[in-house]
């Protein structure tokens, strides 16, 4: 985080400083927002405005800033905070992403995980989590069969 702040200061990049501040504020507020219902959290995570797709440099900048903020001691470093923060700011930057939530057994214990999908493929994940986790839901809210390819159930068809 100190390195990023030094870069921003050296370039006198006000827009970058504002972006970093927005990312930090968003990530710090998430534990409070997560106490509400899933629909409320989803509404908070969905950006108010979408832009034309950002270039690779802008995407890399957002990812770097989110990773730095999530490594900060004031932010809970977990996939949920990282995933929701990346989802919000990358969607705002115009990327067509989904944030997928799943449960599975890892090292003999049931656990949850969330990950981004871009064009149906895990995005910014070191390893593909899909073999280890069963999809429960996704943002934006879509029928489950659209996320994992399973046939729709009677409830999903209605």
pTM above 0.85? no
pLDDT in tens, 135-145: 888 888 554 44
pLDDT in tens, 121-133: 899 988 888 888 9
Task: Please state the domain extents for the chain.
Answer: 1-95, 97-158
Identify the CA nearest to 113 among candidates 144, 82, 89, 92.
82
With tokens 């029928």, the residue in question is: 143
pLDDT at 15: 83
From CA 26, how far away is CA 55, in angstroms rounded? 22
pLDDT in tens, 32-67: 888 888 778 888 888 887 777 788 899 999 999 999
From CA 77, how far away is CA 75, in angstroms rounded? 6
pLDDT at 108: 85
pLDDT at 34: 86
From CA 99, how far away is CA 88, in angstroms rounded? 10
pLDDT at 95: 87
């Amino acid at each position: 985080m100190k390195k990023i702040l030094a870069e921003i200061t050296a370039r006198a990049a006000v827009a970058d400083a504002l972006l970093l501040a927005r990312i930090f504020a968003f990530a710090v507020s998430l534990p409070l927002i997560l106490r509400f219902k899933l629909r409320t959290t989803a509404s908070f995570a969905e950006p108010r405005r979408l832009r034309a797709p950002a270039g690779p440099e802008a995407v890399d900048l957002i990812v770097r800033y989110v990773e730095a903020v999530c490594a900060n001691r004031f932010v809970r470093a977990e996939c949920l905070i990282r995933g929701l923060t990346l989802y919000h700011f990358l969607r705002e930057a115009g990327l067509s992403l989904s944030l997928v939530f799943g449960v599975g057994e890892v090292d003999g214990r049931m656990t949850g995980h969330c990950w981004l999908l871009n064009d149906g493929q895990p995005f910014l994940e070191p390893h593909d989590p899909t073999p280890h986790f069963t999809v429960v839901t996704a943002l934006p809210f879509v029928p489950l069969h659209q996320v994992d390819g399973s046939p729709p159930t009677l409830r999903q068809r209605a």
